[in-house]
């Protein structure tokens, strides 16, 4: 059972990024500007560069010169989206809250910070996308995946895959050694393991804007996610993620 939710302010927001040079700049800038309007929240951002072969690091480094609450770590070999988030969570920091958000800016800055605020009094807060405005080609796969998750794990959540979630550090400390999935379905495992520990959740509706340029492919990525969850349900996922990740990033920037 995790410790009660921390009521102190301070959150480290992990941003996993794989070849996001074209999208991460405006997204990060918007989040950092919003953070400056809410200094009482003590938000810091950590970009985890995940096997990038483009100019993502250059874009992020440019922003670090103007924002002291932005840092990055780099892994030269790809470690998966889940691996990048978990690697960010294990980085040394003092913030009582840990969060992650996608690098494309699909979650509006105001909604991200409202989610962070709503986490107070809970162990975790997860964003729930407004599906009514999404293209049908995105809504149907999301609906099918949600049914699959409910069938396998009976999770009572309206949206497990929105790329914006907040967790109490006490909870993450208990979950990290147990995590097995490092791909796109890692969100589901986080929620499964948090629920098993008795976590108290808040679900917060947010606006959502699907962005072009995603590396996610409905059939290939979706197929891997379905199989990852099936293996997780059967206990066939192998060693914990932290044992498979490199012990340290290949490079880092810390203000």
Question: Which tens digit of pLDDT belongs to each residue from 82-118?
Answer: 999 999 999 999 999 999 999 999 999 999 999 999 9
Q: How confident is the model at residue 255 (pLDDT cuts 50, 70, 90)?
A: confident
pLDDT in tens, 197-246: 999 999 999 987 765 555 565 657 888 999 999 999 999 899 999 999 99
Where would I find the beta strands (DSSP E) of 38-123?
43-50, 70-75, 97-101
**Residue among 28, 24, 75, 23 at smallest CA distance from 50:** 75
Spatial separation of the C-alpha atoms in residues 241 and 186, rounded to whole Å: 10
| pLDDT score at 110 | 95
Report the Cα 232 to chain-centroid distance in Å.
Answer: 19
Reference 18, options 62, 64, 75; nearest CA is 75
Q: What is the pLDDT of residue 1?
A: 44
CATH topology of domain 11-253: Spore Coat Polysaccharide Biosynthesis Protein SpsA; Chain A (3.90.550)
In contact, 42 and 216? CB cutoff 8 Å: no
pLDDT of 28 above 60: yes
Number of CB atoms found within 10 A of residue 39's CB: 10
User: Regarding predicted confidence, which is higher, 4 or 50?
Assistant: 50
| Per-residue confidence band for 76, with pLDDT thresholds at 50, 70 and 90 | very high
- List of residues 6+ apart from 144 with CB closer than 8 A: none
């Amino acid at each position: 059972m995790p410790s009660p939710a921390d009521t102190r302010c301070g959150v480290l927001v992990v941003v996993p990024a794989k070849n996001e040079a074209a999208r991460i700049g405006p997204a990060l800038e918007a989040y950092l500007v919003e953070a400056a309007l809410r200094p009482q929240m003590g938000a810091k951002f950590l970009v985890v560069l995940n096997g990038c072969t483009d100019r993502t690091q250059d874009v992020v480094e440019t922003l670090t010169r103007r924002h002291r609450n932005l840092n990055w770590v780099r892994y030269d070999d790809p470690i998966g989206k889940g691996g990048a988030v978990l690697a960010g969570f294990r980085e040394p920091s003092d913030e009582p809250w840990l969060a992650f958000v996608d690098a494309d800016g699909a979650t509006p800055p105001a909604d991200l910070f409202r989610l962070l605020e709503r986490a107070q009094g809970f162990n975790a807060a997860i964003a729930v996308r407004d599906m009514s405005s999404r293209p049908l080609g995105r809504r149907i796969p999301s609906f099918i995946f949600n049914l699959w998750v409910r069938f396998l794990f009976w999770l009572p959540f309206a949206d497990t895959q929105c790329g914006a979630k907040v967790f109490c550090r006490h909870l993450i400390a208990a979950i990290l050694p147990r995590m097995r999935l490092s791909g796109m379905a890692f969100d589901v495992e986080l929620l499964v393991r948090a629920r098993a520990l008795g976590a108290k959740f808040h679900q917060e509706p947010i606006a959502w804007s699907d962005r072009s340029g995603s590396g996610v492919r409905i059939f290939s990525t979706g197929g891997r996610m379905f199989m990852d969850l099936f293996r997780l349900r059967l206990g066939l996922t192998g060693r914990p993620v932290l044992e498979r990740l490199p012990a340290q990033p290949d490079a880092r920037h810390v203000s």
